[in-house]
Amino acid sequence: MVAIAILALTWGSSFILMKRALKDDLNQPVLAPEQVAALRMGIASAILLPVSLNVFRKIKIHEWKYLAIVGLMGSGMPALLFTTAQLHLDSSLAGILNALTPLFTLLIGIGFFQKAFHRRQLIGVGVGLAGAVSLIALQGMGSSQQPMYALLIILATLCYGVSVNTIYAKIAHIHPLHIAALSLLMAGIPYSLYLSQTNIADIVTSNPYGWKAIGYVVVLAVLGTCVANMLYFWLTQQTSPLFASSVTYIMPMVAVGWGLGDGEGFGILHLACAMLVLAGVWLVNKK
């Protein structure tokens, strides 16, 4: 439970960190979504580079494709999807919708990894998705009133479902630290190449908020990516994909708390929809 609590705190705080890296205190844009994602992946992969170099030759050829899937689906794509969505949505909404991860973990496990399931779990999927659709349909929970961007977050949770099932079914024997390092390396290299072609250096030197935004991304990369990924992969291996993804029970509360502190709106209807999402997650995880 300690691991779950740490994960919930780090990942639940990721949404407000992304928001702060994207916009300054006056809600003006600073870094572009793709720059935040690229910088996050580049820093995270660089931090774990010594580990990657140390274990590079120990990985079997057939295992690299699974590490590529984990790197792309578990880190690379969600990093861009979340930052793009958060230009138009509050961090509270992002955190709540991220709770759909166990639902897609179950569906991916059933569809592609021959996982057994109970009818109750499928009911849970329906309840959770109904809550998510209702939440997206509500107006006023995002400063720019573009709730369709919430679909990007749902796509990100689907990516997480693919990643966690791949770890459990294909590379559970690899140490979590090694999975984190090598998968992040595979996501970090193309992102770093892209970042070198952008104007991020000009933004940092010319924008008064530039260095502050970079600082938020550094914290995001270290805690929300490196530390959280290692802990999540370890939890997946020690328990199960569904149990590990149950961190999403607590994560929305952390995200909503940060959002309220940042002046985001959160009414009774939003709470009702959030509870519906979590009820669906509970049904999926119930034994």
Q: What is the pLDDT of residues 155-182, one digit of tens each?
A: 999 999 999 899 989 999 999 999 999 9
Query: Average per-residue pLDDT in the chain?
Result: 87
Are the C-beta atoms of residues 99 and 249 closer than 8 Å to each other? yes
Within 13 A of 129's CA, how many CA atoms are on the CB side? 15
pLDDT per position as a tens digit, 221-278: 999 999 988 888 888 788 777 677 667 777 888 888 888 888 777 778 878 888 888 8
Residue 25 has what DSSP assignment?
Answer: T
Q: Are 191 and 76 in contact (CB under 8 A)?
A: yes
Contact 252, 98 (CB under 8 A): yes
More confident residue, 97 or 246: 97
Both tokens assigned to 106: 């179950």
- What percentage of the chain has pLDDT greater than the value 70? 94
127 is written with which tokens?
A: 């309840």
pTM for the model stands at 0.87
Q: What percent of the chain has pLDDT over 90?
A: 48
Give the dihedral sign, CA 68/72/73/76: positive
Tell me: pLDDT of 126 over 50.
yes
Is the pLDDT at 30 greater than 60? The verdict is yes
Domain boundaries, the chain: 2-285
Q: What pLDDT sits at residue 17?
A: 94
Tell me the C-alpha distance between 189 and 183, whole Å. 10
Q: How far apart are CA 249 and CA 242, in angstroms?
A: 12
Tokens representing residue 276 in the block: 């519906």
Output the pLDDT for position 259. 84
Residue 57 CB burial class (10 angstroms; 0-12, 13-18, ≥19): exposed
Angle between helices 251-261 and 268-285 (to 10 degrees): 160
Q: How far apart are CA 129 and CA 149, in angstroms?
A: 16
Question: Of 33 and 98, which is predicted with more confidence?
Answer: 33
**139: confidence class by pLDDT, cuts 50, 70, 90:** low
Look at residue 140 in the predicted model and tell me its pLDDT.
Answer: 47
Tell the burial category of 155 from Cβ atoms under 10 Å away from its Cβ (0-12, 13-18, 19+): middle
